[in-house]
Amino acid sequence: MMTTLYVLAGILLLLLLLYVLAPSRYEVSRSIEINRQPAEVFQYLRLLKNQDAWSPWGKRDPDMKQEFRGTDGEVGAVSAWEGNKEVGSGEQEITRIEPGKRIETQLRFLKPWKSTSDAFIEVAPSGSGSEVRWGFAGKNGFPMRFFMLFMNMDKMVGKDFEEGLASLKEILEQEK
């Protein structure tokens, strides 16, 4: 009986230690140069509906159901989605706009697991065009914090950001 208690206490202590050691936050971002003026790039990016054209997740479920609420491109606008297992379901709300420079959104994932992240897109002058930086950050709650011991959010999502930014570049540079 005592041996069982010691084993259980040891396992519990190990789990607690792993939880403390696991990263409590994540942050991922990527950037790309686009041969287009910052004002034009920003105007395109501020519209949630335009994300369908360049977002890598929209391509993974062409039958994804979407709903838009509010005035697109303004604080309070929401894009909600429900898709297959790969894209899950959730919504994105514009929470802050720094005209010509930065758009901040809150991502609320509902499936495959509940989580909230703060996302952003920044546009800055660069050479003869613009630099666009896209990223997001959030907290690893229970049980995701355990999974982060074995997963690397930057590697998992970074490739998606690179794919999306490459599509964005292609779209915006073709429209010239």
**Which CATH class for the 25-174 domain?**
alpha beta
Name which residue leads in pLDDT, 117 or 42. Answer: 42
Q: 27-48, pLDDT tens digit by residue?
A: 889 999 999 999 999 999 999 9
| Rounded-to-integer distance, Cα 67 and Cα 82, Å | 9
With a pLDDT cut of 90, the percent of the chain lying above it is 55
Write the CB contacts of 165 (distance below 8 Å, at least 6 apart in sequence).
Answer: 30, 31, 32, 54, 132, 134
Q: 122-149, pLDDT tens digit by residue?
A: 999 998 899 999 998 877 666 666 566 6
Whether 23 shows a pLDDT value over 70: the answer reads no
Indicate the domain borders of the chain: 25-174
Rounded to two decimals, what is the model's pTM? 0.82
Contact criterion met (CB below 8 Å) for 130 and 38:
yes
Q: What is the mean pLDDT of residues 155-165?
A: 88
Q: 66-80, pLDDT tens digit by residue?
A: 999 999 999 999 999
